[in-house]
């Protein structure tokens, strides 16, 4: 009996043990690994995975590997090596590994975020980029769409004057509407039932996506699994909602007016359908299912990531009231109340911009990015990497490297400013908040504009203060597929009635003290607007 069991285990171990395919090659140092379970028993169980992997660098160096089930994962925690993977050897490392939950979400690796390297991913990424190009200028300018929504967000916040609220819903609605405009030229109203549905299935998916043992041992899918069931349920709700939008949209689609992501995808499909010369691959890659996955990726990424960054920014400002005051003074001095902030104010509101950069450093949206996969045998630094190996970039390690950042655990926006605090600087190459290379975040420009404009608009009109109970937000975070912040409240206070109803700022700049006095008397300019002059 024992002999039989041993034989069985040895046979299993033989098949499940990864084969070293290049004898003599030097591989990254590895955590210990056992048959079947791999390195699982040797990975710390408590704390955040990104910080645990960062700590392991002390023992194993800036690149090391571990094994989970049958899969080898290489962790890269230095910017030079990370850039080699993401930029220099991007072709060899632009694959995406098969992950059970991500495969369900992406309907067999369709879409852009989780699709493996290949013609399908290349086509869809190109079409998404073409969509963002539609919003470069003109009536559809990205900035205009963002400002419309932020203006509504601020109007809503004005109704909450004096109250302590969770910003989650209003911010979620604003960013959902911005991405809705980009995807299908539509938007929701405050309180629309569908927004709640989206918010709920998003939560269900984010909570379950990277939380399951089946991602390590895919064979576990043969057993009933509650988490997976819940995830599938949320994905179904999402797919039904997006499919309803797609089918309705197809009826009103017109080739004469290409204004959003759905237009671009439908038009690309029609073009390849009409192209009868030879077998056209693109047509197959643009089925309704493919379109739905790409829209789902952009829609989901656009909402979850930006909402999270905006909440983190507010949280850090609540922890640093002095900084918040200085940003408000910067807004006062450079913009005042005469007009609302624009994207072109970014190089004038340098402290605000530096603060956002620091938020993205200290709490990256995706501390481990989305895992990559080697599409062929390759190398990173001096180490051999086999085809099929998962490669994880530990952005957290890059952003917290003590050799690159002074006191990396401290929130210090001034590190992104020159000594005069008048210009933005890039202090080190160890900073990649949006990734880099062909798999970098396709919505980077959108995200940066959204966060900058919303913070500038909000801080111009409101004081964001601690709630009545004085509770500071927790800065620990909740690492899911996006590094979330735990729920918190903020007290909204309209800035000291300025500009007052009668303020006629913007009518012209008085040229002498006397005229300023006269303007004060006759035009009812408020002290804030006068201070500007």
> Quick check: 335 binds ligand 3NQ (CB under 6 A)?
no
Give min distance, CB of 106 to ligand 3NQ, in A: 6
Judge contact between 52 and 44, C-beta under 8 A: yes
Token reading at 45: 């169980």
Contact positions with ligand 3NQ (CB under 6 A) in 454-483 = 481-482
A 10 A CB-CB count for 224 gives 7
State in angstroms the smallest separation of the CB of 428 from ligand 3NQ: 21
- Mark 362-401 with x for binding to ligand 3NQ (rule: CB under 6 A) and - for no binding: ---xx-----------------------------------
Q: Are 69 and 99 in contact (CB under 8 A)?
A: no
Task: Please tell me the count of residues contacting ligand 3NQ according to CB under 6 A.
Answer: 20
Report the SS3 class of residue 508.
coil
Residue 304 near ligand 3NQ by CB under 6 A? yes
Shortest gap between Cβ of 145 and ligand 3NQ (angstroms)? 20
From 158-166, 295-303, 450-458, 513-521, span contacting ligand 3NQ (CB under 6 A): 295-303
User: Is 245 or 365 the residue whose CB approaches ligand 3NQ more closely?
Assistant: 365
Bridge-partner residues for 165, per DSSP? 490
Neighbours of 98 (CB within 10 A): 17
For ligand 3NQ, the nearest residue by Cβ is 300
73 vs 294 by CB, closer to ligand 3NQ: 294
**Alpha helices in 135-225, H assignment, sequence order:** 142-159, 168-184, 193-209
Here the tokens at position 184 are 């299908």
Taking alpha carbons only, the member of 219, 210, 215, 217 closest to residue 38 is: 217
Q: Which member of 72, 73, 176, 305 binds ligand 3NQ (CB under 6 A)?
A: 305
Q: How far is the CB of 238 from ligand 3NQ (least distance, A)?
A: 5
* Residue range at the interface with ligand 3NQ (CB under 6 A); choices 124-132, 153-161, 278-286, 293-301: 293-301
Number of H-type helices and E-type strands within the chain: 19, 12
Binds ligand 3NQ by CB under 6 A, chosen from 120, 238, 311, 399: 238
* Nearer of residues 303 and 453 to ligand 3NQ, judged by Cβ: 303
Nearest to 199 by CA among 230, 168, 178: 168
Alpha carbons 220 and 227: distance in angstroms, whole number: 12
Question: Is residue 413 within the footprint of ligand 3NQ (CB under 6 A)?
Answer: no
CA distance 267 to 261: 10
CB of 443 to ligand 3NQ, least distance (A): 8
216-235 residues in contact with ligand 3NQ (CB under 6 A) are none
Tell me 87's DSSP state: I
Residue 107 gets the label, from left (phi > 0), alpha (psi -120 to 50) or beta, of: left
Total Cβ atoms within 10 A of residue 455: 26
Q: How many residues does the chain have?
A: 533
Q: Which is nearer to ligand 3NQ, 345 or 450 (CB)?
A: 450
Taking the complex as a whole, how short is the minimal distance between the CB of residue 101 and ligand 3NQ, in angstroms? 10
Cα Dmax for the chain: 104
266 forms part of the interface with ligand 3NQ (CB under 6 A): no
Among 84, 297, 332, 386, binds ligand 3NQ (CB under 6 A): 297
Q: Which of 179, 206, 242, 451 binds ligand 3NQ (CB under 6 A)?
A: 206
Strand-pair partners of 66: 73
Least distance between ligand 3NQ and beta carbon 158 (Å):
30
x/- mask, ligand 3NQ, residues 423-442, rule CB under 6 A, reads ------------------x-
C-beta separation of 85 from 93 below 8 A:
yes
What's CA 518's distance to the chain center, in Å? 50
Distances in Å between the Cα of 368 and the Cα atoms of 48, 54, 365, 500 are 11, 11, 9, 48
Q: Looking only at residues 85 through 124 of this chain, which bind ligand 3NQ when binding is defined by CB under 6 A?
A: 105, 111, 113
Binding site for ligand 3NQ (CB under 6 A): 105, 111, 113, 201-202, 205-206, 209, 238, 296-297, 300-301, 304-305, 365-366, 441, 481-482
């Amino acid at each position: 009996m024992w002999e039989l069991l041993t034989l069985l285990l040895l046979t299993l171990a033989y098949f499940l043990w990864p084969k070293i395919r290049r004898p003599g090659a030097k591989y990254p140092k590895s955590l210990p690994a056992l048959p079947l379970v791999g390195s699982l028993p040797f990975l710390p169980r408590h704390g955040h995975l990104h910080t645990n992997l960062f700590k392991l660098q002390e023992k194993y160096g800036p690149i090391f590997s571990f094994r989970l089930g049958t899969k080898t994962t290489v962790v890269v925690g230095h910017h030079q090596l990370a850039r080699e993977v993401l930029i220099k050897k991007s072709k060899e490392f632009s694959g995406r590994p098969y992950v059970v939950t991500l495969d369900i979400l992406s309907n067999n690796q369709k879409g852009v975020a989780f699709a493996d390297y290949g013609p399908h991913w290349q086509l869809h990424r190109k079409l998404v980029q073409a969509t963002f190009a539609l919003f470069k200028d003109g009536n559809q300018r990205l900035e205009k769409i963002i400002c419309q929504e932020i203006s509504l967000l601020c109007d809503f916040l004005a109704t909450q004057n004096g109250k302590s609220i969770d910003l989650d819903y209003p911010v979620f609605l604003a960013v959902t509407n911005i991405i809705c405009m980009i995807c299908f030229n539509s938007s929701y109203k405050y309180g629309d039932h569908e927004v709640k549905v989206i918010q709920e299935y998003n939560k269900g998916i984010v909570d379950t996506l990277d939380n399951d043992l089946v991602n390590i041992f895919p064979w576990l899918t043969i057993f009933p699994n509650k988490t997976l069931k819940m995830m599938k349920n949320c994905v179904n709700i999402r797919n039904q909602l997006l499919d309803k939008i797609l089918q309705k949209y197809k009826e009103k689609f017109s080739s004469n007016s290409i204004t959003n992501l759905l237009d671009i995808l439908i038009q690309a499909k029609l073009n390849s359908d009409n192209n009868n010369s030879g077998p056209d691959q693109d047509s197959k890659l643009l089925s309704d299912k493919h379109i739905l996955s790409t829209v789902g990726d952009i829609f989901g990424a656009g909402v979850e990531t930006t909402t999270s960054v905006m909440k983190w920014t507010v949280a850090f400002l609540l922890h640093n009231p002095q900084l918040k005051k200085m940003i408000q003074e910067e807004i006062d001095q450079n913009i005042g109340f005469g007009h609302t902030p624009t994207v072109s104010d970014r190089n004038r509101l340098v402290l605000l911009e530096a603060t956002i950069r620091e938020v993205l450093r200290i709490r990256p949206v995706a501390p481990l990015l989305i895992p990559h996969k080697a599409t062929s045998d390759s190398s990173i630094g001096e180490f051999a990497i086999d085809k099929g190996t998962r490669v994880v970039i530990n952005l957290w390690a890059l952003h917290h490297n003590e050799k690159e950042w002074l006191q990396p655990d401290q929130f210090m926006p001034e590190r992104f400013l020159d000594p005069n605090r008048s210009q933005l600087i890039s202090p080190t190459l160890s900073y990649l908040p949006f990734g880099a290379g062909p798999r970098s975040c396709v919505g980077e420009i959108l995200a940066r504009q959204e966060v900058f404009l919303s913070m500038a608009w909000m801080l111009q009109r409101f004081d964001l203060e601690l709630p009545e109970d004085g509770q500071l937000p927790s800065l620990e975070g909740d690492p899911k597929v996006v590094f979330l912040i735990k729920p918190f409240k903020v007290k909204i206070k309209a800035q000291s009635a300025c500009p007052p109803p009668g303020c006629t700022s913007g009518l012209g700049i008085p040229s002498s003290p006397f005229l300023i006095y006269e303007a004060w008397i006759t035009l009812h300019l408020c002290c804030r607007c006068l201070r500007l002059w």
